[in-house]
Every structure is written in C-alpha cells, then in structure tokens.
Structure 1
Amino acid sequence: MTGSARRPRAFLLYRESALRRDALRQPPGTAQRYSLYGLDELAAGGLDVHHNLEAGDAPVQSKVAGSVLDRAVQAAGGYSGDFRSVLASRHLANAADVVFSTVDTVGIPLVLLARARLVRTPIVYAAIGLPERIEQLAPRVVRLYADAYRRPRAIVAYGWGEVDALRAWLGENGPPVHFVAFGVDTDAFRPVPAAVPDSDVVSIGADLRRDYALLLSLAERRPEWTFRIVASRDHVRVLSSAPPNVTVEFDLPFALTHARLAAGRVVVLPVQENSYSGATTVLLQAMASAKPVVVTRTAAVARGYHLEDGLNCRLVPPAAPAALEHAISDLLGDPERAIAVGARARETVVQHLSWHRYTDTIRELLLSACGPITVRA
C-alpha cells in the first residue's frame, strides 16, 4: 500500500449576512468577495474549500438545539453566538481537516462545542473584538471560556491591540495568537481619475465603533464643508440628527458604496478607542484608491499597517475634535498635499497590504493547523 497526498479539506464558518450572501453570488475575483476572507484564493492555493452558507436553511433540530444552548449560555453569564449555524454545520466541520472561523459570532459557539468534544477538527480562529466580549462575561464563567479558547490550533487577530490583549488573557498555555494585517485588492480598488467630487468629506462604515457623533458635531461647526456618511441602519439613532450639510445613506449596495468613496475629496474615519476596529477595511480600500484619509489612531491600526501621519494618512487621537478638524482642514486646504498623501497611501498598500499577502498568510496557518494529509492507494 502506498500513500498519496490529497488536497487538505478546509471548512470556513461565516456569519450569516446579506453582504456575504451577495458576495457569494458574485463571480470569483470581484471586489465584494473580500468579505469571504480568501475563499477563492484558498481554493486556488490547493485547499479543498467548503463553507457553512453552501447549505440551505438550518434543520429544525439545529434551530431548536441552538436556541436552547443560546439561552443556557446567556443564563450562565456567558457570551453567546450563532449556535444554530454551527450546529447545522457540525458534521461537515468534523469531516474537514481544518476549520477556519472567520468571525466571533460563529467562533464562540464553535470553541464551546469543541470544549464539549462535539467539534474535533483543528480550528484556526479569527478574533474581531474578542477582548471586548470577554470583558462582558460573568466572573463565574471566565475560566470556562479561557479553557475553551486554549483549544484552537491558532488564533488570528487583525490588530496588535487585540493580539496583546488575547496573549495576556490566555497566558503561556494558550495557542499562538498571530497578528495578521488585513489586506485589500489593489486591482479592484485603484484611483478613479474620472470620479467627480460631490462632497468634501466622505465617511463609510457599518461597525458600531464608528464615532459618527463626533463627525456630526464637526459638521455643525463647519457648515461650509459638505459631508456624506454611508452607514448601516444600526447607526440610525445617531445619524437622524444630522445637520443640513450632511447627506446620510444607509445600507447601499457595494458598487454604490465604492462610487461614494471615489467621489469624496477626503475620506474621514473616526473610531472610538478599542482593540479591534480601526475602520480597517474601508481604510485600506481608500488608501488603495489613492484617497487622502484621516483615521483615528486606535490600538487596532497603530501598529502593523505602516501608517505614517502626514506621509500616507493623517492619524488623530480618539475623541479629539480639534485634532480631527485640523487634519481635515489641512488636506482640504492644500489639494497638492492631499494628492501626495493619497499617492503614498496607495504605494503603501501595494507594497505591504495586498489581498494576496493576507490570503497567503491565512493559507499557511490553515495548512500548519491540519498537518500532513495522506490517503491510502
């Protein structure tokens, strides 16, 4: 009997969302498939890749069991997630050689089920705000969660602030926690010379750490500037009080959002301090598009993203209205400087933060987690 290599089977767990469903309907290579965390590139790189959204609706038994587990976890003082989706995919996950959990919504149930020996496949876990979730745990379950999170083969975080927090929490007995810089498709996101500016300031983003209240207060102080904000409906309450010089749009399709990005003179991304969100996805898309960007220096992007204040972006402290106003004014008032900052921004992402660099790193982590694979001939 001889052994021959086969393609390692990787199973990707996604959070259910309209964004991801739309991305899956697009052909491989299109820009909006960034939300699939390298699905196409992993398949092209030699992995046999499947994911939880390939199936239809979850079976009734998974829905019932998921609801029971969700209530039990919350009643115990834990932080829950989408148990239903993970339970529905458990057999497929166990048939794989490695599971890549792409977000905490599915990752938390996954590691808890692994602790209960219901998921046996090696796990690579992407953390996106896990320290903030751990802080919400009741003291009586912190040790249980720490034990669960020592089971993945590797944990990935996209900001050094989150890496530092997770390493401190898990200690020497924890799995390796890797910083992996997120990436951007520099072919899909590139300068659009034909774009006609329609606003002085454009700000785009859905995550709850965006500081839109700070941006609105600035708009009130600077009525001569025009603002456009593209957000999710999670921000309706804050943005309902926008002044007249602010245009607000919710839940735009990807192509329209891309067009709004291209039509802003300056991209402004104010973020509240946190370990994981630095408006990273939009930041990289704007930089690849050679846009001048003003972004908050959070722990998520202060290290590892090659950001240099005044050279390839403008970095401002969190909750600092005067600094934010000054940085925007600096770029709006000096178009040549803004163009130079944008050009260097694109150079930075092309050299250091490409999408292939990101997906190659994820691929290597998945292959390392599953180890050598052979089948008997």
Structure 2
Amino acid sequence: MKRFIIGLVALSLLITGCVDQINIEDVSLSLLIGIDLDENNNLIFSTSSPVFNKEAKIKEEEYTSQATTMRKSRDKDDQTFIGLTTGGKAQVILVGKRVMQHNNWFQLLEPFFRDAKNTLNVRIVMVDGPAYEVVQYAPKDKPRLPLYLSKLIDTANRRNINVKTTLESLRRLTLEKGITASVTELHKDGKLIVTGTALLEESGKYKFSIGPDETRLLRILQDETKGEFPFTYKAIGKPKEGVFPNNAYSFSAQKISVKTKTGFKENKFKFDMDVKMRVVLTERLFPLDVRTEADKLERDMEQHLKKGFNGLISKIQGAKIDPIGMGLYARAYEYSHWKSVQDKWGEAFSDAEVNVKVKVIIASMGPTK
C-alpha cells in the first residue's frame, strides 16, 4: 500500500497542470509599454504586442489610449487586441520625459507589483520625447521592436554607455536613502539612439542627464566595473595641427579598482576615493616613444580622468542627488552622523568633501612601436 501511494504521488508530480491553460494565439503579450503625458497632463499609455496568427501580414500590433491608470489602459487594449492582454513577458517600459519631470511617477507602475504574473525584470527607460513614438516605430531592417530595443539597451550597457535599471532595482533604489536612482535615456531621431543616463532625485523626479563618457565615469565611481570602458582624449600641451586630430589618443580601461575611505570632520562628510586601472592603448595619432615616454602618457590620462571625475561630482553635488551611492558608505562607516541626515542625504552630500585620486598604468600599447 505504501509503495502504491508513493508511486501515485510520483506520477502526480509529472502531470502538467492545465486548469488555466491558454493557447498562445489567444494571448496578447505586452512586450513593450509606454507611458506619456499630453499637453493637458492626461496620461497616455501605449502597448506593443507580437501577433502569432499565421494569416497576419504585420507581426506586431500596437495601441495607444488615454486612461486614468495603467490597469485601466489594459481594459482598452482588450477592446482592440484579439488576445487577452498580459504583462508577464514585458521587456521594456518606456517613460516619457514629461512623466519623469513629476514627483512620484513611480506609483504608476503599481500593477507590476500587485499582480504576481507580471515580471519585475523589465527594463525602465526614459524617452527624451514622446514614448508612444518609440512604441510605434517599425524599422524594416531590424527584428521585432521589443527584441531590438532590449538588445540595444543591453549592448550599450556592456560598453557602459548607459545604466541598466530593471523595475525591481528601481524600486530598491527609490526606497534606499543612501543612493538616488538612474535609468537609461533614449531618443528617437529617425532611429533609436541610447544617449546616456537620466539621473533622478530622491522622489524619482528627473533631474538632469549625462552622456556616455560621464556615464562611464559614474559606473567607475559606483565600483561597477564590468564591461568595456573606452575613452578618447586630446593630449595636454599638444595643439591640433592641420585638419586631422593629430593630438588625440584612445584607450580602454581594464582591471579597475576603486577604494573609498569615509570620514566626518568639521561637521561634514569626507570621502577619499582611490581609483586604479590598467589600460590598453587603442589609438594614438601623434608620435611617442613608448619605451621612454609611457609615463608621460599615463600622467596625461590621469589628469583627464581626474578632471572628468571632479566635474561629474560637482554636477551631482550641485543637484543635491547621489547616484554614486556615497550615502551607503556614510551609513556603514559613520552611522551616528548619517542617522541625523538620512532623510535629507542629498543636501548633506552636496556639502561633503570628495577627493578622487587616479592611478593609471599602461599595460599594452599594441604590437606597433
């Protein structure tokens, strides 16, 4: 009898549940979702879903509607889509810049946290312009738009052109007092372009944007050093001569190490950041004796990088935000002082002293002397 019961239980585990089975032809997968505000501050939601019907010539359907909430917009989608709308496979949520310029826009994404069938790994992107224009974009030389857009974001992230922020990580960053959130920024100008990173306030409101080079510097300060870090600079003290940039050089930073020391002195926080990196020279448009003058080029790189770090930190402190996450260090090492300013950390960080030291070692200049 025991063997019979054990065998019955084992067989039951192999049986596929089919109570709520639904054919894929009867489902409308919202792979791409857009959120906008029109000129009268009415919410506009747009959705792009793949079509699995063999008879359909267009394999993507999109719909844009005005609705009071995201959940209400799904009802309008169901009025026109032939399948039941679901967000469990969403790849990207596009948020228009007009939406992010308001406090607490993050609450619009409430359905994704309320419904367990929805995914939290969806990428969050700010569109510099109307998000629905991106949703309606139909390039003939690219794969399905949701797949193309997600690959575009991921590829840019591998080269540290942008940050990759999912819905789950955005929620964590929004609730965390020691760091402010940042998301990928996208622009449509005939084609889709990842322009860099949008930095947000503690309330989630858009503050300002940074381009690819400053995003790479931000990633280094965050100690997020995976992927590629290419930089191009003009050699200090070498003026340009002629048409071509014969004073420029490029390198790729590798094996980056970031160490941060935290202190509190004279009623303000102090952070000393030590950045070390080994670099590979990838381009040099001026003569240089690599055997005897390598140290000169290393010092040139250090000056450029330090200037870039200081400029970025100055912008961040002026905006009273902290996308670097220095508040996490303050809480960990100076908790007694952090505790009194945790609810206004952006303001406290704006008065902090941040010193960045850069050390560069050229590991390779290529096979050409």
TM-score bracket relative to the smaller structure: under 0.3
TM-score, with structure 2 as normaliser: 0.24
